[in-house]
Chain A
Amino acid sequence: MTKSQLNSVIHAPNRLKICAFLTPLQEAEFQVLRDELGVSDSVLSKHLKQLEAAGYVAFRKGAVNGRQRMWASLTKSGRKAFSGHVEELTRIASVLDTRPTT
């Protein structure tokens, strides 16, 4: 076990997945995120609100064919925090490579 510097907001599996999915993207629509994560609207909303409260995710509303759609994107601080979290995970996981095999 290792005392870590992981980000407690990003650490939850669904929030980690949201950040990972948004990393290569400029924006993703709410429904796309929901389908990729395989969660309900309410679960996704809850996680997105937590990420928004931390300043890691921003939203934009837009209308397509008269329907309201919400788009989410990672903010600059969100990208930085996610990158730091992944670095820390990599550091912790690297222990596996240095363990002697028997």
Chain B
Amino acid sequence: MNDIDNLSPEEAKEALESVVNMESAGWRRAVPDRWFGAVVAVLIASLFALYALEDPYPYIVFPILGLAIFITAAREKSGAYGQDFPSSKANVWAIILVVIVMLFVFFGSIYIRRAYDAAWVSLAVGLLVGLMVFMASERERRAYLTKTGQGESN
């Protein structure tokens, strides 16, 4: 594969095969562990559930800091990680929609909590959001596994 101007189709095919193999290796490295999604889900759920407290604001910093420290540590440990933001427009719009819905649920739960003194609403929202985050992380994990050709079994 040295003569770049006169590359034969066989050499090009061989190069493409090595590209596919290395891309698969990259996807394998990027597959997040199941516990990664679970811990992120618990931390985000706790952020929402904290609003069950009378005065949650002194404690909000803990799950936020926890998320930042945990994600950084997990990435440093893995030695490689996938893209933060999806490249396709459809996925970007899906994320924007999810963030809007989350904000609506978040501020809605705070309103209900204050208007009706219903602490369980914040706990229920925390649980719901935690489940949503975990399901999203599992979906992403399966998508990564599909790209590595390993499917669900791993």
Q: Chain A: residues with CB nearer than 8 A to chain B?
A: 1-4, 6, 8, 11, 13, 16-17, 20-29, 31-32, 36, 62, 64, 69, 86, 89-90, 92-96
Contacts and interface: CB of A to CB of B under 8 A. Distances in A.
A29 B25 CA distance: 14
B51 interface: no
A3 B27 CA distance: 32
B7 A6 contact: yes
Contact of A25 (B1, B18, B82): B82
Ranked nearest first, the 4 interchain pairs of A and B with the lowest CB-CB distance are A20-B22, A92-B12, A32-B79, A28-B80
Given A21-B22, A29-B80, A86-B16, A2 B7 contact: yes
A96 B9 contact: yes
Tell me if B's interface is mostly helix, strand, loop or mixed.
helix
A47 to B, nearest CB: 13
Given A16-B19, A93-B16, A1 B80 contact: no
A25 B30 contact: yes
Interface string B1-41: 10011111110110110111111011101100000000000
B88 interface: no
B30 A29 contact: no
Q: Count chain A CB atoms within 10 A of each CB in B6, B15, B20, B76 and give the residue with the most.
A: B15
A2 B81 contact: no
Given A22-B26, A36-B25, 4 more contacts: A2-B7, A13-B15, A20-B18, A25-B82
B6 A2 contact: yes
A3 B77 CA distance: 45
A92 B109 CA distance: 58
B55 interface: no
A17 B20 CA distance: 9
Nearest to A86: B19
